[in-house]
Chains A and B, each alone.
Chain A
Amino acid sequence: MSVPNATEDLSSEVEVDAFRRLFPVRYFERHLSESIRPDGRPLKEARDTSIFLGSVASANGSALVKIGSTTMLTAIKLEVMTPSLETPDEGCLAIDFHMPAICSPIVRPGRPAEAEPVVSKQLSDTISSSGMIDLKELSLVSGKAAWMAYLDIYCLDADGALFDTALLSAVAALSHVKIPAVAMNDDGKIVLMSDEDGKKQANEQVNKEKRKLTLKSIPLSLTCILHKSYILADPTAEEESIIETHVTIVLDTHGQLVSLYKPGGPVLAYTSAIQDCVALTRQRVKELKSFLDEANSAMEVE
């Protein structure tokens, strides 16, 4: 590392953009000492969040979520399948996270991004650990038919806090999904009920009307980055690349800790730092829950 004095002299002569690229850590620390971040946010503030439900009309449930510039689109497709022998009255949920080349200049087509399988696994673990979905609700006829829900999350713009945005969009889509009305016809197969209802008497109605899933406790998360003694909430991609210590905390609406994920990093997390991060996450969960409720009630009005 260059001698501190030399950098101080340079900083007054070098242009801001060049300084930002050449000495990213020092650029960042100069902002931190004023308790602000390069994009003007205070240290503990998360970026603007918006949730749009029902953006994919052909899917059974969908949500487009933006946290700052990070954009994730989730779509849920339901398909009828035979349940496994071990769980005859449970459906199945398959979660897949994709990072197509559109999301970031680092991701090239053909080669999956490093973050992809990790976020995908984290999401499936979090959703199953939280017990949000009761798979029994996805059952149609015990032992013969059940719903298989394919949850596909596409990252459209990767600008930091990928897991937070992906989780929020998955949860929003699950709160929006409507299970279609189906009936069992004479061959014992499940068919979608059309609006005509012509052959209604011949068919056994398995699912009378479109219904939503009951979500027990919704997991929501916040990623924080730790640098020396500073804790910053909701990092952008630039901040994530400079600071290597990330902590992601997932709390559900009942206040239970669903996941505390800290994959290494040069800064050690002491109990006080963990408690601070948990407090920040609690606040954020309240905020996100209110956004989600707003979006859902807006959909119902329509």
Chain B
Amino acid sequence: MEMDRPDGRSPNQLRPLACSRSVLHRAHGSATWAQGETKVLAAVYGPKAGTKKNENPEKASIEIIWKPNTGHIGQADREHEMILKKTFESICIRTIYPNTTTSIVVQVVHDDGALLPCAINAACAALVDAGIPLRHLAVAICCSVTDNNCIILDPSKQEEEKAKAFAYLVFPNTTVSVVPEKSLQAGSDPMAHGIITSVTHGAMSVDDYLHCLERGRATTQRLSEFLRKNMEPKSTREASKAG
């Protein structure tokens, strides 16, 4: 089904991605992530000593501070904080530094659709920049279902508002490892097919949701490659320029 998107993209095409690491000098790790016009800046401070009152002192705790681009902090921001906290708690290896707190500050620079996935990608890049031990990386994507039941990826704000429903999905990064494929599987699905987080908006049929999952999975390969390329240390690139 041909789908005319206002910016001329095909249904499966993502907006141009841009990621820069170590943008802030005082933070232990930082990154900006831009998907088209949506841009988010994430900074990581930690691990710092001590945990908050209700947290388990036997594990490292993750604290998220979400800063919207305009206005006071409202319910939506608290919800985003909780979603990010739970997502990153499952990614970070929390048994390594017990009784510490790692703070991730997420600042929304510009919101043009797919804000939560952009923030998750930025925070993940910032965690890598800070050197926090992670079990695996996370890639996040937004899929939306339009009125004529077409599934489009990475919608802009306009497309999100017109869509019947949309889903933010977070998948674990496809791992590149020396371990044989079989050991990474759980049952019949490879590890990269499970979702870490899913937040949906609007009503869609269950089949539409399952199609969104499939499309999302197929795209995580591209996002993972982009993320890994960005993770390469800057020094090797500079060394190759010198040499």
Contacts and interface: CB of A to CB of B under 8 A. Distances in A.
Interface of A: 106, 114, 117-118, 120-122, 125, 129-131, 217, 229, 244-245, 251-252, 255-272, 274-275, 278
A129 B82 contact: no
Contact of B79 (A118, A131, A255): A118
A130 B164 CA distance: 11
20 contacts: A114-B82, A120-B75, A229-B187, A255-B206, A258-B203, A259-B200, A260-B198, A261-B200, A262-B195, A262-B196, A262-B197, A263-B87, A263-B197, A264-B88, A264-B90, A266-B90, A270-B186, A270-B193, A272-B187, A275-B210
B199 A261 contact: yes
A263 B170 CA distance: 10
B109 interface: no
A151 to B, nearest CB: 15
Given A257-B206, A270-B193, 13 more contacts: A117-B74, A117-B75, A244-B86, A256-B205, A257-B203, A259-B201, A262-B198, A263-B199, A264-B87, A264-B197, A269-B195, A270-B186, A270-B187
Given A118-B78, A121-B78, A244-B89, A265 B204 contact: no
A225 to B, nearest CB: 13
Contacts of B197: 262-265
Contacts, number: 108
B65 interface: no
B19 interface: no
B194 A268 contact: yes
A274 B187 CA distance: 14
Contacts of B205: 255-257
Given A257-B206, A264-B197, A270-B194, A121 B89 contact: no
Nearest to B213: A271
User: Which 5 A-B pairs rank lowest in CB-CB distance, beginning with the nearest?
Assistant: A268-B194, A264-B86, A264-B87, A117-B78, A263-B86
A68 to B, nearest CB: 23
B202 interface: yes
B167 interface: yes
B209 A257 contact: yes
Contacts of B172: 268
Contact of A121 (B79, B187, B202, B209): B79
A229 to B, nearest CB: 8
Contacts of A271: 189, 193, 210, 213
A264 B78 contact: no
B165 interface: yes
Interface residues of B, number: 40
Contacts of A125: 201
B158 interface: no
A253 B83 CA distance: 27
A255 B206 CA distance: 8
A264 B196 contact: yes
Contact of A268 (B75, B186, B209): B186
A194 B196 CA distance: 56
Contacts of B79: 117-118, 121-122
A138 B165 CA distance: 25
A166 to B, nearest CB: 14
Interface in B170-198: 170, 172, 186-187, 189, 191, 193-198
B112 to A, nearest CB: 20
Nearest to A266: B90
Nearest to B83: A263
A127 B133 CA distance: 39
B220 to A, nearest CB: 13
A265 B84 CA distance: 11
Contacts of A120: 75
A103 to B, nearest CB: 15
A131 B189 contact: no
B50 to A, nearest CB: 18
Contact of B206 (A117, A122, A245, A278): A278
A260 B90 contact: no
Interface in B86-143: 86-90
Contacts of B204: 256-257
B101 to A, nearest CB: 15
Contacts of A261: 198-200
A262 B194 CA distance: 12
Nearest to B91: A264
B1 interface: no
B240 interface: no
Contacts of B200: 257-261
A221 B86 CA distance: 21
A251 B203 CA distance: 9
